[in-house]
Chain A
Amino acid sequence: MGLVNGTAIRRIILEQSKRANVGHIGSGLSIADLIAALYGGILNIPSPSDPERDRMILGKGHAALALYAAFYLKGWITAEQLDTFHTDGSLLGVHPEHILPGVDFSTGSLGQGLSFGTGAALAARLQNSSRRVFVLVSDGECNEGALWEAVMFAAHHQLSNLIVLVDLNHQQAFGYTDAVIKMSPMANRWQAFGWDVHEVDGHDVAALQQTVASLDTISGPPHVLVASTTFGKGVSYMESQIKWHYMPMNDAEYPQALEEVGTTAIEVAP
């Protein structure tokens, strides 16, 4: 297991959200393996300031803690910086801000990240660059009409360097997606818009990495990995429970969560 792995990311999400006494825990746990696959192998980012780096946009900005965990494990931020999450004056807010190196675009308003990413992908093509653009969106985020404007545009212009990951955890802030705005079958929707669609297990890091490695990012349509995930993955009492979009853990819940996620020692890149 590499330094940037799902277990370490989950540990950090639990530790930091407990310290800060905040929610959005389930949303972060849902994408921990997607983030591990991206930052543990897929993304080509020699440094967060390299203009030729791959771009990565977290459309579901409320899961930023998973992103910060990866930045810490990559050695881009220190333990001291990580501990400023959710404190006054910190660069590490609930939603990611571009002033933090590693965050290419600020997000938090759902449905905007894919448009930013579509522009970034078009820019790479116009500049004859081989850099790729990844956008991680949630299934609830796909309620936003503007997202589909970007979906249509990217397909029309065959932005093959654009790769979307849909965190298909079947729930959103105030209900289950099937009960709020039914988005299934999610894959068919993207397919109908002309995207190259791959249905994957969003918790299988190796499979995710293999799938992305197989994509043609030089020509053809843009790509979407419709990644089946479990909201709150790794903590039994959080899994598929709406309340864990919002609630912080109390003192009794926290040790159980840590124990279930695992106590593998966290190693950080030098």
Chain B
Amino acid sequence: MRGAFAKTLVELAAQDDRIMLLTGDLGFMALEIFSERFPSRFVNMGVAEQNMMGVATGLAEAGFIPFAYSIVTFASLRPYEFIRNGPIFHHLPVRVVGVGGGMEYGNAGPTHHGLEDVSVMRTQPGITVIAPADADQTASALRQTWHLPGPIYYRIGKNDKVIIPNLDGRFELGRLQIVREGGDLLLVAMGGITNEVVAAADTLAKQGIQATVAIVSSFNPAPVDDLIRLLGRFPLTLTVEAHYITGGVGSLVSEVVAEQALGCRVVRCGLTTPPLAVSGSQSYLQHQYGISASALVETALRELQGIKTQ
């Protein structure tokens, strides 16, 4: 996703000279295609993310469209109040770009994991929040939204190789995308964990259980109407996110179920405990937190059994 982001941003910057790229001293082997082509519109802000968001606000007030890039947690949490009081309260087109949602920086440890960014951004009504599922969707989302008048938070992954089958780069603000249809249960995925969700659906299918897989990548605006239509058709929904279960896609789905009085059980799969203080790869940690494909299959089978015995 990171490569797709940089490549698409270069395309857009060639068409519109208001686009700038600021980075908090990150992006080695990723952002050079921008910095080499547009050196005057690229600024390494140093390891100073609060100032990066403040400077982006000042640039945007003067007519620029600055993209401010860092690892998810340094892009969202460290400068959060600057984002709130700056681009959000001033309604300015600053783009906050967080790379590496969830445990993508696995062995780097919890300081580098993005576990609550969608939650804290989604709580602000004044910012568009986008969490693409793969590289092609990242490119589409960027092309469709870069010019919006208000601020945007993009949560993008590091992985450019994984492509979600049947997603075909589809993206629409306020809509979800369905990549697999089945009548037994609904899986709703957010962001880079989607490949595990699709793999879980494949395994379930081999056992005769057919799942629908929906991807929510547009938060603010959220695909509420799509969710209402979809959730009403299933007795069981698993939401899956490489994120705490509070505030992300699990919360969004639960809000819709409760507000619309839909008769669907929601099981939120994601992080429920403080981070493990152990070193681990992305796949190891995802399994520990119950969001690997195999862990999701287990959860789905257990919950389906529970519904049958009720």
Contact = CB atoms under 8 A, between A and B. Distances in A.
B46 A153 contact: yes
Contacts of B90: 98, 105-106
Nearest to A113: B54
A118 B50 contact: no
Greatest chain B CB density within 10 A among A104, A108, A119, A149 is at A119
B13 to A, nearest CB: 14
Interface residues of B, number: 26
- Interface size classification for chain A: 20 to 34
A117 B59 CA distance: 9
B61 A104 contact: yes
SS class, residues of chain A in contact with chain B: helix
A210 to B, nearest CB: 28
Interface stretch (A84-92, A123-131, A163-171, A248-256): A123-131
A112 B55 contact: no
A119 B82 contact: no
B48 A153 contact: yes
Greatest chain A CB density within 10 A among B51, B53, B86 is at B51
Given A115-B82, A123-B64, A150 B51 contact: yes
B62 interface: yes
A146 interface: yes
Nearest to B91: A98
B51 A115 contact: yes
A123 B62 contact: yes
A109 B53 CA distance: 14
Interface in B48-75: 48, 50-51, 53-64
B255 interface: no
A152 interface: yes
B300 to A, nearest CB: 45
B58 A146 contact: no
Nearest to B54: A115
A151 to B, nearest CB: 9
A76 interface: no
A120 interface: yes
Nearest to A115: B54
A122 interface: yes
A152 B48 contact: yes
B38 to A, nearest CB: 12
B46 A120 contact: no
A67 interface: no
A149 B85 contact: no
Interface of B: 40-41, 43, 45-46, 48, 50-51, 53-64, 81-82, 85-86, 89-90
Given A115-B82, A126-B40, 5 more contacts: A105-B58, A109-B81, A133-B58, A146-B82, A153-B46
13 contacts: A98-B90, A105-B90, A108-B85, A112-B86, A115-B57, A115-B86, A120-B62, A124-B62, A127-B62, A127-B63, A145-B50, A149-B50, A150-B51
